[in-house]
Amino acid sequence: MGAIIERLSGQDYYSYVKEHIYAPAGMNDSGFYEPGKQIPNLAVGYTRMGPDGKPTEQVHDNTDRLEIKGGPAGGGYSTVNDLVKFHVALRSFKLLDREHTELATKGKVDAGPPIGRYAYGFGDKVFDGKHIVGHNGGWPGVAANFEMYPELGYTAVILMNSDPPTMMPVIMQIRKLIPAE
């Protein structure tokens, strides 16, 4: 998708996202990891994953793994506040008009559980009778989950500085706490 954005816009992916998503949404604390770039207030992640990708007994920080420039497939950073701003901008049609917002968020391809149907960068599913549109991500020592409940008006954002499986009980509890009506 990043290559398509670059080709159609004539901008590099990073500039396009900054200008067309971060700026209109007011997302001032989001960006992409870059080798040697200092990111203010960045949380240190903690992982049990070794350099070979296999779990270890020792927990260690993930700072040795952040020297990879992010891109369309991941490697970005944000805050809970910025992700809520993204939700507000998306749902108020600041980023896309109504038709294209629905096109981007409505599932098109069956991805099976736990995703449901896959849209353009969003999972689209029903959980316990509640419609959820969102996306998650992870990396050793980093876990993120972003879920919008469009008909209910809720947004749930979780950012953790630990390995992704640690986040699952929190996601499940939040889903249970959000009322169906």
E strand or H helix at 105: helix 98-105
For residues 131 and 15, the answer to whether their CB atoms sit within 8 Å is no
Domain chopping of the chain, boundaries: 2-35+44-177
Whole-structure pTM value: 0.89
67 has pLDDT over 70:
no
Q: Tens of pLDDT along 131-155?
A: 999 999 888 999 999 999 999 999 9
**Yes or no: domain 2-35+44-177 corresponds to CATH 3.40.710.10:** yes
For residues 118 and 107, the answer to whether their CB atoms sit within 8 Å is yes
- For the chain, give the mean pLDDT: 91
Q: Alpha-carbon distance 90 to 148, whole Å?
A: 10
